Amino acid sequence: MKRIAILGSTGSIGVNTLKVISHFPDRFRVIGLTTNSNIELLSKQIKEFKPRFVCVSDNKAGFALRKKLNTANTKLFIGAQGLEALVSIKDIDKIVLAISGAAALLPLLKALERGKEVALANKEALVMAGPLIMDLARKKKTKIIPVDSEQSAIWQCLGEEPRSRLKHIYLTASGGPFRTVSPAALKSISISTVLRHPKWKMGKKISVDSATLMNKGLELLETMFLFGIPSEKIKILIHPQALIHSMVEFIDGIVLAQLSSTDMRIPIQYALSYPQRISNSLPVIDFYKLQELHFAKPDFKRFPCLNLAYRAARELGTMPCVLNAANEVVVSEFLGKRLGFISIPKVIERVMDRHRSKLSPHLSDILAADKWAREEAYKAIRAI
Protein backbone atom coordinates (compact mmCIF):
# COMPACT_ATOMS: atom_id res chain seq x y z
CA MET A 1 0.00 0.00 0.00
CA LYS A 2 1.60 3.25 -1.18
CA ARG A 3 0.53 6.42 0.62
CA ILE A 4 0.15 9.19 -1.95
CA ALA A 5 -0.03 12.97 -1.68
CA ILE A 6 -1.18 14.89 -4.77
CA LEU A 7 -0.06 18.50 -5.02
CA GLY A 8 -2.50 20.15 -7.42
CA SER A 9 -5.28 17.59 -7.06
CA THR A 10 -7.94 19.82 -8.65
CA GLY A 11 -6.08 20.24 -11.96
CA SER A 12 -6.26 17.92 -14.96
CA ILE A 13 -3.36 15.68 -13.89
CA GLY A 14 -4.53 15.63 -10.27
CA VAL A 15 -8.07 14.63 -11.25
CA ASN A 16 -6.76 11.85 -13.51
CA THR A 17 -4.42 10.65 -10.78
CA LEU A 18 -7.37 10.25 -8.45
CA LYS A 19 -9.24 8.33 -11.16
CA VAL A 20 -6.32 5.90 -11.38
CA ILE A 21 -6.07 5.55 -7.61
CA SER A 22 -9.80 4.86 -7.29
CA HIS A 23 -9.37 1.68 -9.38
CA PHE A 24 -6.66 0.31 -7.08
CA PRO A 25 -7.85 0.80 -3.49
CA ASP A 26 -5.69 -2.14 -2.36
CA ARG A 27 -2.51 -0.55 -3.76
CA PHE A 28 -2.79 3.19 -3.19
CA ARG A 29 -4.14 5.36 -0.41
CA VAL A 30 -4.61 9.12 -0.72
CA ILE A 31 -3.05 10.73 2.33
CA GLY A 32 -2.75 14.35 1.14
CA LEU A 33 -4.43 16.70 -1.37
CA THR A 34 -3.73 20.32 -2.26
CA THR A 35 -5.19 23.06 -4.42
CA ASN A 36 -4.47 26.69 -5.04
CA SER A 37 -8.04 27.94 -4.60
CA ASN A 38 -10.57 25.45 -6.04
CA ILE A 39 -12.05 24.49 -2.68
CA GLU A 40 -15.36 23.39 -4.22
CA LEU A 41 -13.71 20.50 -6.06
CA LEU A 42 -11.28 19.87 -3.21
CA SER A 43 -14.22 19.46 -0.82
CA LYS A 44 -15.67 16.75 -3.07
CA GLN A 45 -12.31 15.01 -3.22
CA ILE A 46 -11.97 15.15 0.57
CA LYS A 47 -15.39 13.55 0.93
CA GLU A 48 -14.55 10.73 -1.48
CA PHE A 49 -10.92 9.95 -0.61
CA LYS A 50 -10.78 11.06 3.05
CA PRO A 51 -7.18 12.32 3.13
CA ARG A 52 -5.59 12.99 6.50
CA PHE A 53 -4.00 16.23 5.24
CA VAL A 54 -5.05 18.95 2.80
CA CYS A 55 -3.59 22.32 1.86
CA VAL A 56 -5.03 25.40 0.14
CA SER A 57 -2.31 27.75 -1.10
CA ASP A 58 -4.57 30.78 -1.44
CA ASN A 59 -5.12 32.23 2.04
CA LYS A 60 -8.65 33.54 1.43
CA ALA A 61 -9.84 30.24 -0.04
CA GLY A 62 -8.09 28.33 2.73
CA PHE A 63 -9.89 30.20 5.49
CA ALA A 64 -13.19 29.70 3.64
CA LEU A 65 -12.60 25.94 3.60
CA ARG A 66 -11.66 25.92 7.27
CA LYS A 67 -15.17 27.10 8.20
CA LYS A 68 -16.82 24.00 6.76
CA LEU A 69 -14.11 21.33 7.04
CA ASN A 70 -14.25 18.65 9.72
CA THR A 71 -10.76 19.20 11.10
CA ALA A 72 -11.15 16.25 13.47
CA ASN A 73 -10.62 13.93 10.47
CA THR A 74 -8.57 16.12 8.14
CA LYS A 75 -5.78 18.52 9.06
CA LEU A 76 -5.84 21.72 6.99
CA PHE A 77 -2.71 23.64 6.00
CA ILE A 78 -2.94 27.09 4.43
CA GLY A 79 -0.51 29.09 2.29
CA ALA A 80 3.01 28.44 0.99
CA GLN A 81 4.32 27.50 4.42
CA GLY A 82 1.44 25.07 4.82
CA LEU A 83 2.37 23.42 1.53
CA GLU A 84 5.96 22.97 2.72
CA ALA A 85 4.66 21.47 5.97
CA LEU A 86 2.46 19.00 4.10
CA VAL A 87 5.24 17.70 1.83
CA SER A 88 7.41 17.16 4.91
CA ILE A 89 4.98 14.69 6.54
CA LYS A 90 6.76 11.39 7.23
CA ASP A 91 3.79 9.17 6.39
CA ILE A 92 3.83 10.17 2.70
CA ASP A 93 5.52 7.55 0.49
CA LYS A 94 5.19 9.33 -2.86
CA ILE A 95 4.28 12.84 -3.95
CA VAL A 96 2.54 13.45 -7.26
CA LEU A 97 3.55 17.00 -8.12
CA ALA A 98 0.88 18.34 -10.47
CA ILE A 99 1.03 22.03 -9.57
CA SER A 100 1.32 24.05 -12.77
CA GLY A 101 3.94 26.66 -13.57
CA ALA A 102 6.77 28.12 -11.51
CA ALA A 103 4.77 27.68 -8.30
CA ALA A 104 5.92 24.04 -8.24
CA LEU A 105 9.61 24.85 -7.76
CA LEU A 106 9.80 25.41 -4.00
CA PRO A 107 7.47 22.51 -3.06
CA LEU A 108 9.53 20.22 -5.32
CA LEU A 109 12.79 21.25 -3.66
CA LYS A 110 11.25 20.78 -0.22
CA ALA A 111 9.96 17.31 -1.14
CA LEU A 112 13.39 16.24 -2.39
CA GLU A 113 15.08 17.75 0.65
CA ARG A 114 12.84 15.51 2.77
CA GLY A 115 13.84 12.47 0.72
CA LYS A 116 10.41 11.96 -0.89
CA GLU A 117 9.99 10.07 -4.14
CA VAL A 118 8.34 12.47 -6.60
CA ALA A 119 6.14 11.62 -9.57
CA LEU A 120 6.69 14.85 -11.49
CA ALA A 121 3.96 16.21 -13.77
CA ASN A 122 5.36 19.74 -13.88
CA LYS A 123 7.98 20.74 -16.43
CA GLU A 124 8.41 24.41 -15.50
CA ALA A 125 10.30 23.70 -12.26
CA LEU A 126 12.93 21.69 -14.12
CA VAL A 127 13.16 24.36 -16.82
CA MET A 128 13.81 26.99 -14.15
CA ALA A 129 16.27 25.09 -11.99
CA GLY A 130 17.08 21.74 -13.57
CA PRO A 131 20.70 21.40 -12.38
CA LEU A 132 19.77 22.38 -8.79
CA ILE A 133 16.87 19.92 -8.71
CA MET A 134 18.80 16.98 -10.15
CA ASP A 135 21.80 17.64 -7.89
CA LEU A 136 19.52 17.62 -4.86
CA ALA A 137 17.82 14.39 -5.97
CA ARG A 138 21.22 12.70 -6.34
CA LYS A 139 22.38 14.04 -2.98
CA LYS A 140 19.25 12.75 -1.23
CA LYS A 141 19.29 9.50 -3.27
CA THR A 142 15.65 9.87 -4.18
CA LYS A 143 13.83 9.32 -7.46
CA ILE A 144 12.09 11.76 -9.77
CA ILE A 145 9.65 9.73 -11.86
CA PRO A 146 8.31 11.58 -14.93
CA VAL A 147 4.54 11.67 -15.46
CA ASP A 148 4.34 13.61 -18.75
CA SER A 149 3.82 11.09 -21.55
CA GLU A 150 6.92 12.18 -23.48
CA GLN A 151 9.29 12.07 -20.51
CA SER A 152 7.80 8.79 -19.31
CA ALA A 153 8.42 7.34 -22.78
CA ILE A 154 12.06 8.46 -22.81
CA TRP A 155 12.58 7.16 -19.29
CA GLN A 156 11.16 3.75 -20.18
CA CYS A 157 13.14 3.49 -23.43
CA LEU A 158 16.45 4.62 -21.93
CA GLY A 159 16.29 2.25 -19.01
CA GLU A 160 19.74 1.76 -17.47
CA GLU A 161 21.62 2.31 -20.73
CA PRO A 162 24.76 4.46 -20.31
CA ARG A 163 24.39 7.87 -21.93
CA SER A 164 27.49 7.13 -24.03
CA ARG A 165 25.37 4.66 -26.05
CA LEU A 166 22.73 7.26 -26.86
CA LYS A 167 22.68 8.89 -30.29
CA HIS A 168 19.42 10.85 -30.37
CA ILE A 169 16.17 11.36 -28.53
CA TYR A 170 13.13 12.02 -30.70
CA LEU A 171 10.73 14.15 -28.70
CA THR A 172 7.38 13.77 -30.44
CA ALA A 173 4.76 16.50 -30.76
CA SER A 174 1.25 16.30 -32.20
CA GLY A 175 1.78 19.73 -33.74
CA GLY A 176 -1.14 21.25 -31.85
CA PRO A 177 -4.25 22.80 -33.42
CA PHE A 178 -2.31 25.00 -35.89
CA ARG A 179 0.02 22.47 -37.49
CA THR A 180 -1.38 23.18 -40.96
CA VAL A 181 -2.73 26.70 -40.44
CA SER A 182 -1.01 29.47 -42.37
CA PRO A 183 0.96 32.03 -40.32
CA ALA A 184 -1.29 34.81 -41.68
CA ALA A 185 -4.39 33.10 -40.29
CA LEU A 186 -2.91 33.08 -36.79
CA LYS A 187 -3.33 36.85 -36.52
CA SER A 188 -7.08 36.53 -35.89
CA ILE A 189 -7.19 33.24 -34.03
CA SER A 190 -9.66 33.00 -31.11
CA ILE A 191 -8.93 31.79 -27.59
CA SER A 192 -11.47 28.96 -27.93
CA THR A 193 -9.68 27.72 -31.05
CA VAL A 194 -6.32 27.83 -29.30
CA LEU A 195 -7.69 25.77 -26.40
CA ARG A 196 -9.12 23.09 -28.69
CA HIS A 197 -6.26 20.61 -28.82
CA PRO A 198 -6.77 17.84 -31.41
CA LYS A 199 -5.55 14.98 -29.21
CA TRP A 200 -5.38 15.83 -25.51
CA LYS A 201 -7.77 17.30 -22.95
CA MET A 202 -5.62 19.64 -20.88
CA GLY A 203 -5.65 22.79 -18.78
CA LYS A 204 -5.69 26.22 -20.39
CA LYS A 205 -2.02 27.09 -19.88
CA ILE A 206 -0.63 23.90 -21.36
CA SER A 207 -3.16 24.10 -24.21
CA VAL A 208 -1.83 27.52 -25.20
CA ASP A 209 1.74 26.22 -24.91
CA SER A 210 0.81 23.33 -27.20
CA ALA A 211 -0.64 25.75 -29.75
CA THR A 212 2.59 27.79 -29.85
CA LEU A 213 4.72 24.62 -29.48
CA MET A 214 6.35 26.26 -26.47
CA ASN A 215 5.24 23.16 -24.59
CA LYS A 216 7.63 21.15 -26.72
CA GLY A 217 10.32 23.76 -26.16
CA LEU A 218 9.88 23.46 -22.41
CA GLU A 219 10.03 19.67 -22.77
CA LEU A 220 13.32 20.05 -24.65
CA LEU A 221 14.82 21.76 -21.61
CA GLU A 222 13.10 19.33 -19.24
CA THR A 223 14.61 16.39 -21.14
CA MET A 224 18.09 17.90 -21.02
CA PHE A 225 18.04 18.31 -17.25
CA LEU A 226 16.06 15.20 -16.32
CA PHE A 227 18.25 12.80 -18.30
CA GLY A 228 21.54 14.75 -18.54
CA ILE A 229 21.47 15.01 -22.33
CA PRO A 230 22.74 17.95 -24.44
CA SER A 231 20.21 19.76 -26.62
CA GLU A 232 21.98 18.81 -29.87
CA LYS A 233 21.04 15.17 -29.24
CA ILE A 234 17.34 15.99 -28.84
CA LYS A 235 15.27 16.22 -32.02
CA ILE A 236 11.66 17.41 -32.04
CA LEU A 237 9.48 15.36 -34.35
CA ILE A 238 5.91 16.18 -35.41
CA HIS A 239 3.74 13.08 -35.07
CA PRO A 240 0.04 14.02 -35.46
CA GLN A 241 -1.40 10.68 -34.27
CA ALA A 242 0.30 11.12 -30.87
CA LEU A 243 0.63 7.36 -30.40
CA ILE A 244 4.43 7.29 -30.22
CA HIS A 245 5.18 9.36 -27.16
CA SER A 246 8.93 9.58 -27.80
CA MET A 247 11.79 7.49 -29.19
CA VAL A 248 15.38 6.80 -28.24
CA GLU A 249 18.03 6.05 -30.88
CA PHE A 250 21.24 4.31 -29.85
CA ILE A 251 24.66 4.40 -31.50
CA ASP A 252 24.14 0.98 -33.13
CA GLY A 253 21.10 2.23 -35.05
CA ILE A 254 18.51 0.59 -32.79
CA VAL A 255 15.50 2.84 -32.05
CA LEU A 256 13.19 2.11 -29.14
CA ALA A 257 9.75 3.73 -29.13
CA GLN A 258 7.03 3.79 -26.49
CA LEU A 259 3.48 3.63 -27.86
CA SER A 260 0.17 3.91 -26.06
CA SER A 261 -3.22 5.54 -26.46
CA THR A 262 -3.57 9.27 -25.86
CA ASP A 263 -4.75 8.93 -22.28
CA MET A 264 -2.79 10.55 -19.45
CA ARG A 265 -3.97 7.88 -17.02
CA ILE A 266 -1.51 5.45 -18.64
CA PRO A 267 1.74 7.28 -17.73
CA ILE A 268 0.20 8.37 -14.42
CA GLN A 269 -0.49 4.76 -13.47
CA TYR A 270 3.07 3.70 -14.32
CA ALA A 271 4.52 6.57 -12.29
CA LEU A 272 2.42 5.43 -9.32
CA SER A 273 3.08 1.69 -9.65
CA TYR A 274 6.77 1.80 -10.65
CA PRO A 275 8.73 -0.47 -10.66
CA GLN A 276 5.70 -2.71 -11.16
CA ARG A 277 3.25 -2.75 -14.06
CA ILE A 278 -0.36 -3.48 -13.21
CA SER A 279 -3.25 -4.47 -15.44
CA ASN A 280 -6.05 -2.01 -16.22
CA SER A 281 -8.98 -1.44 -18.57
CA LEU A 282 -7.64 1.76 -20.16
CA PRO A 283 -7.78 2.25 -23.96
CA VAL A 284 -5.23 0.34 -26.06
CA ILE A 285 -3.96 0.70 -29.61
CA ASP A 286 -5.61 -1.60 -32.16
CA PHE A 287 -2.73 -2.33 -34.53
CA TYR A 288 -5.04 -4.12 -36.97
CA LYS A 289 -6.90 -0.86 -37.52
CA LEU A 290 -3.81 1.35 -37.43
CA GLN A 291 -2.86 1.79 -41.07
CA GLU A 292 -0.12 4.42 -40.97
CA LEU A 293 1.89 6.79 -38.82
CA HIS A 294 3.03 10.23 -39.97
CA PHE A 295 6.16 12.19 -39.07
CA ALA A 296 7.48 15.61 -40.10
CA LYS A 297 10.04 18.22 -39.15
CA PRO A 298 8.64 21.11 -37.12
CA ASP A 299 8.20 24.43 -38.88
CA PHE A 300 10.39 26.79 -36.89
CA LYS A 301 9.11 29.84 -38.81
CA ARG A 302 5.50 28.99 -38.01
CA PHE A 303 6.41 28.23 -34.38
CA PRO A 304 9.18 30.67 -33.31
CA CYS A 305 8.82 29.61 -29.66
CA LEU A 306 10.80 26.50 -30.56
CA ASN A 307 13.76 28.66 -31.62
CA LEU A 308 13.56 30.54 -28.35
CA ALA A 309 13.65 27.29 -26.37
CA TYR A 310 16.70 26.03 -28.28
CA ARG A 311 18.35 29.40 -27.64
CA ALA A 312 17.72 29.03 -23.91
CA ALA A 313 19.11 25.48 -24.11
CA ARG A 314 22.33 26.80 -25.64
CA GLU A 315 22.81 29.73 -23.27
CA LEU A 316 21.65 27.97 -20.08
CA GLY A 317 22.32 29.70 -16.74
CA THR A 318 19.26 31.75 -15.83
CA MET A 319 18.02 32.02 -19.43
CA PRO A 320 15.70 28.98 -19.27
CA CYS A 321 14.11 30.49 -16.15
CA VAL A 322 13.60 33.79 -17.99
CA LEU A 323 12.07 31.98 -20.97
CA ASN A 324 9.61 30.22 -18.68
CA ALA A 325 8.68 33.30 -16.64
CA ALA A 326 8.06 35.45 -19.72
CA ASN A 327 5.99 32.67 -21.26
CA GLU A 328 3.81 32.33 -18.16
CA VAL A 329 3.08 36.06 -18.29
CA VAL A 330 2.22 36.18 -22.00
CA VAL A 331 0.00 33.10 -21.78
CA SER A 332 -1.89 34.67 -18.88
CA GLU A 333 -2.25 37.94 -20.78
CA PHE A 334 -3.41 36.13 -23.91
CA LEU A 335 -6.05 34.21 -21.95
CA GLY A 336 -7.12 37.53 -20.41
CA LYS A 337 -7.58 38.98 -23.93
CA ARG A 338 -4.85 41.55 -23.34
CA LEU A 339 -2.36 40.15 -25.87
CA GLY A 340 -2.70 38.73 -29.36
CA PHE A 341 -1.64 35.17 -30.12
CA ILE A 342 1.10 36.10 -32.59
CA SER A 343 2.63 38.52 -30.05
CA ILE A 344 3.42 35.70 -27.61
CA PRO A 345 6.88 34.82 -29.05
CA LYS A 346 7.68 38.49 -29.75
CA VAL A 347 7.35 39.45 -26.08
CA ILE A 348 9.35 36.44 -24.90
CA GLU A 349 12.16 37.23 -27.33
CA ARG A 350 12.31 40.87 -26.17
CA VAL A 351 12.65 39.78 -22.56
CA MET A 352 15.36 37.25 -23.43
CA ASP A 353 17.26 39.88 -25.43
CA ARG A 354 17.33 42.15 -22.37
CA HIS A 355 18.55 39.47 -19.98
CA ARG A 356 22.15 38.90 -18.98
CA SER A 357 22.23 35.24 -18.11
CA LYS A 358 24.04 34.19 -14.94
CA LEU A 359 25.81 30.85 -15.27
CA SER A 360 25.71 28.26 -12.48
CA PRO A 361 22.99 30.17 -10.61
CA HIS A 362 22.00 29.59 -7.00
CA LEU A 363 18.34 29.39 -6.00
CA SER A 364 18.33 33.08 -5.09
CA ASP A 365 19.60 33.93 -8.59
CA ILE A 366 16.84 31.84 -10.18
CA LEU A 367 14.11 33.43 -8.09
CA ALA A 368 15.49 36.90 -8.88
CA ALA A 369 15.60 36.11 -12.62
CA ASP A 370 12.02 34.83 -12.49
CA LYS A 371 10.81 38.03 -10.82
CA TRP A 372 12.79 40.25 -13.21
CA ALA A 373 11.52 38.43 -16.31
CA ARG A 374 7.89 38.79 -15.27
CA GLU A 375 8.29 42.52 -14.75
CA GLU A 376 10.08 42.89 -18.09
CA ALA A 377 7.37 40.90 -19.86
CA TYR A 378 4.66 43.27 -18.60
CA LYS A 379 6.78 46.23 -19.75
CA ALA A 380 7.19 44.68 -23.19
CA ILE A 381 3.45 44.02 -23.47
CA ARG A 382 2.63 47.63 -22.59
CA ALA A 383 5.06 48.77 -25.29
CA ILE A 384 3.30 46.82 -28.05
Q: What is the pLDDT of residues 299-314, one digit of tens each?
A: 998 899 999 999 999 9
CB-based burial label for 357 (10 Å; 0-12, 13-18, 19+) = middle
- Is there a single domain that holds both residue 112 and residue 180? no
Q: Identify the helix (H) or strand (E) that includes residue 190.
A: none
Which of 298, 326, 352 terminates a domain? The answer is 298
- pLDDT band (50, 70, 90) for residue 34: very high
Asked if the structure places residue 120 within a domain, the reply is yes
pLDDT for the residue 384: 86
Is the pLDDT assigned to residue 112 strictly greater than 80?
Answer: yes
Asked if the structure places residue 378 within a domain, the reply is yes
- Is there a single domain that holds both residue 254 and residue 130? no
Asked if the structure places residue 70 within a domain, the reply is yes
Percentage of the chain lying above the pLDDT 90 cut:
90
Which of 146, 172, 188 terminates a domain? The answer is 146
- Is there a single domain that holds both residue 245 and residue 376? no
pLDDT for the residue 197: 81
pLDDT for the residue 277: 96
What are the tens digits of pLDDT across the range 258-278?
A: 999 999 999 999 999 999 999
- What is the Cα–Cα distance from 234 to 282, expressed in whole angstroms? 30
pLDDT for the residue 196: 85
pLDDT for the residue 184: 80
- Is there a single domain that holds both residue 141 and residue 156? no
Higher-scoring residue by pLDDT: 352, 206? 352
- Check: CB of residue 318 under 8 Å from CB of residue 357: yes
Is the pLDDT assigned to residue 200 strictly greater than 90?
Answer: no
- Is there a single domain that holds both residue 101 and residue 25? yes
- pLDDT band (50, 70, 90) for residue 36: very high
- Is there a single domain that holds both residue 184 and residue 70? no
pLDDT for the residue 295: 97
pLDDT for the residue 137: 98
Q: Which of 174-188, 237-251, 347-361 has the lowest mean pLDDT?
A: 174-188
Is the pLDDT assigned to residue 131 strictly greater than 90?
Answer: yes
pLDDT for the residue 202: 80
Q: What are the φ and ψ backbone dihedral angles of 341, each rounded to 5 degrees?
A: -60, -45
pLDDT for the residue 183: 80
Asked if the structure places residue 181 within a domain, the reply is yes
Residue 103: alpha-carbon gap to chain centroid: 12
Sheet of 28-35: strand order equals: 75-78, 53-56, 28-35, 2-7, 94-97, 117-120, 144-146
- Is there a single domain that holds both residue 111 and residue 170? no
pLDDT for the residue 190: 86
Asked if the structure places residue 309 within a domain, the reply is no
Mean pLDDT, the chain, rounded, equals 95
| pTM of the predicted model as reported, rounded to 2 decimal places | 0.94
Which of 146, 165, 192 terminates a domain? The answer is 146
Q: Which of 68-72, 84-88, 205-209 has the lowest mean pLDDT?
A: 68-72
Neighbours of 181 (CB within 10 A): 14
Asked if the structure places residue 66 within a domain, the reply is yes
Range of the domain at 83: 2-146
CATH code at position 20:
3.40.50.720
- Is there a single domain that holds both residue 230 and residue 140? no
CATH code at position 338:
1.10.1740.10
- Is there a single domain that holds both residue 152 and residue 291? yes
Q: Which of 48-62, 73-87, 180-194 has the lowest mean pLDDT?
A: 180-194
- Is there a single domain that holds both residue 83 and residue 123? yes
**Number of folded domains that form the chain:** 3
- Range 109-129 average pLDDT: 97
Asked if the structure places residue 307 within a domain, the reply is no
Is the pLDDT assigned to residue 198 strictly greater than 80?
Answer: no
- Is there a single domain that holds both residue 61 and residue 191? no
- Is there a single domain that holds both residue 168 and residue 39? no
Asked if the structure places residue 306 within a domain, the reply is no
